[in-house]
Chain A
């Protein structure tokens, strides 16, 4: 079955470390997105990519970086510059970049700073 796979499900980061969250989709979707979810705040857009080798900052991109070298993959790196990284991170994809049919989401990665 097609879908989005996020790994790992749980991730622990020490102060000053960079960590990378994986997101892979086999839906042949053009667009991919990273969201951060904090309790009571809904979802906030970190980065999005509408096509391979191109990506754009969302509303809260500071302290994060991404790459889109393959259509299927959109990894997110949480850098040491992100001062409050503890959150639930969700990767999503949509069929077309320009038309909004809604998202397919992965099951998320919970990142905790220790």
Chain B
């Protein structure tokens, strides 16, 4: 079955510290992978995406993610967290050429940032 697992429901990080949010997926075909961020009461914003090529992808707001096929993982990282990064983060996986409607979202990880 196709699925996305975000093992951490919530994470607390000190401002200025590094961040890694975990994402594991199960997908039969070649996956297209995404990370989205959602501020409270708002819609989701696309942070970055991986289709093919270099397994380390750069996104907006200083985020990056690394695709590891052998581990079926697509973890999101940031070297230094800012208070404004506090939000909920969603990992998603989908097919590349059969339309976005097959995109599957994880349950999300809420990030808290402490001063």
Give A contacts to B, CB under 8 Å: 4, 6, 31, 33, 40-43, 45, 48, 50, 56, 58, 90, 92, 94, 97-108, 110
What is the interface size of chain B, counting residues whose CB is below 8 A from a CB of the partner? 27
Which B residue sits closest to A93, measured CB to CB? Answer: B100
Instruction: Please determine whether B90 and A48 come into contact, CB atoms closer than 8 angstroms.
Output: no
Which B residue sits closest to A110, measured CB to CB? Answer: B41
Q: Say yes or no for B87: interface residue by CB 8 A criterion.
A: no
Which A residue sits closest to B101, measured CB to CB? Answer: A48
B32, B43, B46: the one within 8 Å of A107 (CB):
B43
Q: Which residues of B contact A42 (CB under 8 A)?
A: 4, 90, 105-108
Which 7 residue pairs across A and B have the least CB separation, nearest first?
Answer: A105-B43, A42-B105, A43-B105, A48-B101, A94-B100, A42-B107, A105-B44
Indicate whether A100 sits within 8 Å of B106 (C-beta atoms), given known contacts A40-B9, A105-B45, A107-B42.
Answer: no
Indicate whether A99 sits within 8 Å of B43 (C-beta atoms), given known contacts A40-B9, A42-B108, A43-B90.
Answer: no
Indicate whether A40 sits within 8 Å of B100 (C-beta atoms), given known contacts A100-B95, A108-B41.
Answer: no
Q: Which residues of B contact A94 (CB under 8 A)?
A: 100
Q: Which residues of B contact A99 (CB under 8 A)?
A: 96-97, 99
Q: Which residues of A contact B97 (CB under 8 A)?
A: 98-100
Q: Say yes or no for B98: interface residue by CB 8 A criterion.
A: yes
Distance, CA A34 to CA B107, complexed state (A): 17
Instruction: Please determine whether A33 and B90 come into contact, CB atoms closer than 8 angstroms.
Output: no
Distance, CA A102 to CA B100, complexed state (A): 7
Q: Could you list some 21 contacts between A and B, CB below 8 A?
A: A33-B100, A40-B108, A42-B106, A42-B108, A43-B44, A43-B90, A48-B101, A50-B99, A58-B101, A92-B43, A92-B100, A97-B100, A100-B97, A100-B99, A100-B103, A102-B46, A102-B100, A103-B44, A103-B103, A104-B46, A110-B41
